[in-house]
Structure 1
Amino acid sequence: MSILDVTLEKLAVEIPGATEILYRFKLDYKQHHSLPLRDAITEYRADKQSVIEEFERLEIRGKIRPDFSQYSEKDLVLYIVTHYHNVHRKQLPELIRLASTVEKEWGHDPLCPVGLSQCIRNILEDTLAHMDKEEKTLFPMIIQSNWDMAANCMAIFQFEHGEHVRSLKKLQRSAHNFQLPTNACSHWKALYMGLQAFITTMRDHIHLEDTTLFARMPDYLSLSSRS
């Protein structure tokens, strides 16, 4: 089945990242949930090729990661920025939007994750600050093989990685372990699917940096064992 034949609701609740694309192209998946993407593009006069290309990028993002042993430090850094940093910069604002909508519309429900949007905002702030520091300080050092200076920074970034993992656990608790009511709307379903996708992506991101990128530093293992 072509992506164009899938309904807006199915895209929103089953494909991580789809809601951000639908929202950006003003394809209202709540009002026209049963409308196939092809018809929605026509109805809302969206650019068909641009929409298809955005969904193709999502598909490529979800494929198995390459063999990083063949990557240079520069290529590995570029992969991290492209597949994780830039993705988080899109994921989190969209999750805040969805969480705010759910809190506003479902605040009366016992399962409503009241306060979740603020929890995500806090994660966004911490994540952006962390990624900006990596891109402006640590990554250039690694690319230039300036390992002495990089070693002084790695302990700080690894500590922050641990803080991020703790934040992810708090995020899951704030979302009631993603327990949905039987009458949950498409926004709520998309929110919890998106949160789970974000947590998976963030954990993969941290794991890649800690076990692959940082391991490029000479004597990294011996240094890690002493820390």
Structure 2
Amino acid sequence: MNITLETQVRDIAAEMPGAAELFRQAGISFCCGGKMPLAEAAKGQGLDPETLLAQLFALQEAANRDAPTETLALIDHVLARYHETHRRELESLIPLAQRVETVHGDHDEAPLGLTAALIALHDELDSHMMKEERVLFPLMRAGNTAALAAPLAVMRDDHHTATDLLRGVEHASHGLTLPEGACGSWTALYTGLRKLGDDVVAHIHLEENVLFPRFETQTA
């Protein structure tokens, strides 16, 4: 991702691993107010835009180092680190979200609609990951580059859908901002959602910017 001071913070948070947490720590909203350029968002919090941009560049460099370089090992990494993890975590987060909505539904900051948003994200990711496991990755392992153009295009479309659904989770949870005196379940839910969101962004980044281009140059 080519980040500049004019890039909108919502786009950075959606595509840059670790950026969402950096923005949260800085008090920058990338949910409802996320269409703001990076420079404007930084100045709004009394931060130096160039310093914040440098921190994002450092995150970008780190994201590209945290995975195997060999292609088959990279595929195995995606399966173990992201596919299995997303499924396991969503299976626990959905009922937890339902519990928080049910118990705290009358609270002004209740995450109403969060359960439905997580179910939609779960269904999209599960469908996407099954297509990778059953079609895309076997073709990659076999070196069948001639058949990869269409599946790769579908995967990129899926990534856009997942990103939009992740924004829905952020919106329903009010940017994962806990109200004062939040109970243990509510706290655990938002802690889990932060990790899930960061993992999904890292998963998409690794495929879009590292794995897929290796095969797209061969199918062009």
TM tier, smaller: 0.5 to 0.7
In the alignment, what sits opposite 1:136?
Answer: 134
In the alignment, what sits opposite 2:86?
Answer: 88
Q: 2: distance between equivalents of 1:102 and 1:193?
A: 13
CA displacement, residues 51-102 of structure 1 (integer Å, 9 cap, x when unaligned):
xxxxxxxxxxxxx964532x2x321111100000000011111110110110
In the TM superposition, 1:1-227 aligns within 5 A as 66=66, 68-69=68-69, 71=70, 73-217=71-215, 219=217, 223=220
Where has structure 1 moved over 4 Å in runs of 4 or more? 64-67
Q: Could you tell me the TM-score, scaled by structure 2's length?
A: 0.68
Structure number with greater Rg is 1
Report the residue type matching 1:68 in the other structure: P
SS at match of 2:148: helix
Q: 1: distance between equivalents of 2:129 and 2:67?
A: 23
Report the residue type matching 1:145 in the other structure: G
CA contact (8 A) 2:67 2:74 kept: no
Shift of 1:118: 1.2
Q: 1: distance between equivalents of 2:177 and 2:78?
A: 31
Report the residue type matching 1:173 in the other structure: H
SS at match of 1:113: coil
Shift of 1:181: 1.5
SS at match of 2:182: coil
After superposition, the Cα gap between the structure-2 partners of 1:205 and 1:146, relative to the gap in structure 1 and judged at 3 Å, is same
How many percent identity over aligned positions? 31
After superposition, the Cα gap between the structure-2 partners of 1:85 and 1:67, relative to the gap in structure 1 and judged at 3 Å, is closer
Q: 2: distance between equivalents of 1:86 and 1:183?
A: 33
After superposition, the Cα gap between the structure-2 partners of 1:185 and 1:139, relative to the gap in structure 1 and judged at 3 Å, is same
Shift of 1:218: 5.6
Q: Could you tell me the TM-score, scaled by structure 1's length?
A: 0.66
CA displacement, residues 99-133 of structure 1 (integer Å, 9 cap, x when unaligned):
01101111110111112111101111111011001
CA contact (8 A) 2:96 2:185 kept: yes
Q: 1: distance between equivalents of 2:199 and 2:188?
A: 16
Report the residue type matching 2:95 in the other structure: R
SS at match of 2:175: helix
Q: 2: distance between equivalents of 1:137 and 1:190?
A: 35
